[in-house]
Structure 1
Amino acid sequence: MGTVTLGVSIAVPEPYGSLLQQRRAGFGDAAAHCIPTHVTLLPPTEVDTDAVPAFRLHLARVADGLRPFRMRLQGTGTFRPLSAVVYVRLAEGIEDCSAIQELVRSGPVHRELQFPYHPHVTVAHDIADEAMDRAYEELAGFRADWTVSGFALYTRDDDGAWHKAQDYPFAGGRTVPGLPAQAGPLDAPAEPSLRP
């Protein structure tokens, strides 16, 4: 019986995803092109291959019960000095992501978190302090808004690159437990902003 490394995340859509990936690479982060721009719901987790079909079914059931919600990225934050990470902050959608990640981790793949869950979009990781500072400053004016309509399962290959295995669109059944229904149109992403 073999194992596979899985992750579950919300993809950051275009044009934001490529823009942030290019910026991450420009700061000198060698992992930028191996990791699609995302908000994590399940961090990298090694799983027995025999458990994958049940986990896929669990993810489908979770997604079937959810409806789309608004997400907004705005400004930067950092986990330094605890962890060498600079990220773009979620200004809207935090409660939704927090509730969904609990649902994702409540199934056949159980994962204890090393740190309390804090949804974010990494833009620099384990690079020189000067480059981390530059990422923090240059993306401080970044803003992006869109409607999240699902999440995806990813697998990591032996070279450390992540690949999408399956999309799980929200079927519109209900909102995340404990959260109010989202109002407003389910529109396409607007142009990103890098206002100072």
Structure 2
Amino acid sequence: MTVPGIGQSGASPAPHVGSLGVIISLPAELAAEISAKRVSYAGPEAAVVPPHITLVSGKASDSWDEAASYVREVAAAGEPFTLSLRGTGTFEPLSPVVYLNVESGAKECARLHEALLQGPVEHLLEFDFHPHLTIAHDLDSGAMESAKREMAGFAAEFEVTSIGLFDFIAGGWALREELELGGNGQA
């Protein structure tokens, strides 16, 4: 899921009925570190998509407002958790992706994903859900191998305290709300 709208401010256009995404964002310092590595493999265009972990990339089943309300309920019922990223994996040969493994926190990500799909939210990816953080996607084999090798020893850990609710507007994903886990409102 591309998320160039992170951090946008000002009045937002009405939600696009056909799109809805839910992600886990990274702390700023960690996001900057991973962004720099992604740029080194794919070039400056890789910086357009901030590093994130996708929980749902899809759409509202019916009403966007009802789906957004349901995402708020899931977030409020959730609890903060520790997420660790350790080493690399790949979806090759099915999909040309190199990613950082979600080690601790994978079960919590899967629980959030499943809870989100129990309501009016659809996940529209062709593959089963596997929590991960994409480092390289659809690059030449040399860049893919470099990403796998250079990031194999990578390790980081952070506390997940919120999830981001996104909508696809004007050709890009835009943050609509950052929702506290276990809270009743925005983070």
Q: Please give the range of the TM-score, normalised by the shorter of the 2 chains.
A: 0.7 to 0.9
Which one of the candidate residues 108, 111, 118 is aligned to 1:99? Answer: 111
- Structure 1 residues 66 and 33: CA distance shift in structure 2, 3 A: same
Give 1:54 shift: 0.6
Please point out which of 124, 139, 152 is paired with 2:151.
139
SS of alignment partner, residue 18 of structure 1: helix
C-alpha distance in 1, partners of 2:132/2:145? Answer: 17
Q: Mind listing any 5+ residue stretches in structure 2 that lack a counterpart?
A: 1-15
> Could you state the TM-score of these two structures normalised by the residue count of structure 2?
0.82
* Contact 2:41–2:143 (Cα < 8 Å) also in 1: yes
Is 1:74 matched with 2:73? no
Secondary structure at the residue paired with 1:75? strand
1:5 to 2:19 alignment: yes
Specify every segment of 5 or more residues in structure 1 that has no aligned partner in the other structure, as ranges.
Answer: 174-196
The answer to whether the Cα contact below 8 Å between 1:76 and 1:139 also exists between their aligned partners in 2 is yes
Amino acid at match of 1:140: A
Aligned-pair identity in percent equals 33
Residues of 2 paired with 1:162 and 1:13: CA distance? 19
Q: Report the CA distance shift for 1:78/1:47 in structure 2 as closer, same or farther (over 3 A).
A: same
Alignment of 1:111-130 (within 5 A): 111=123, 113-130=125-142
SS of corresponding position for 2:129: coil
In structure 2, the residue matched to 1:167 is 178
- Give the conservation status (yes or no) of the 8 Å contact 2:22–2:163: yes
Aligned length: 170
Instruction: List structure 1 segments (4+ residues) > 6 angstroms apart after TM superposition.
Output: none
Q: Report the 3-state secondary structure (helix = DSSP H, G, I; strand = E; otherwise coil) of the residue aligned with 1:96.
A: helix
Query: 2:47 aligned with 1:36, yes or no?
Result: no
Cα distance in 2 for residues equivalent to 1:30 and 1:155: 24
- Residue 20 (str. 1) matches residue 31 (str. 2): no
Taking the aligned partners of 1:99 and 1:167, their CA distance within structure 2 comes to: 19
Q: Residue 157 of structure 1: CA displacement?
A: 3.7
Contact preservation (8 Å) 1:36, 1:162: no
Please give the alpha-carbon distance, in whole angstroms, between the structure 1 residues aligned to 2:23 and 2:113. 9
Q: Is the 8 A contact 1:41 1:97 kept in 2?
A: yes
- Distance in 2 separating the partners of 1:4 and 1:30: 29
Instruction: Determine the C-alpha separation between the residues in 1 that align with 2:163 and 2:45.
Output: 21
The answer to which of 6-15 and 79-88 deviates more is 6-15
Aligned in 2, Cα 1:27/1:157: closer, same or farther, shift over 3 Å?
A: farther
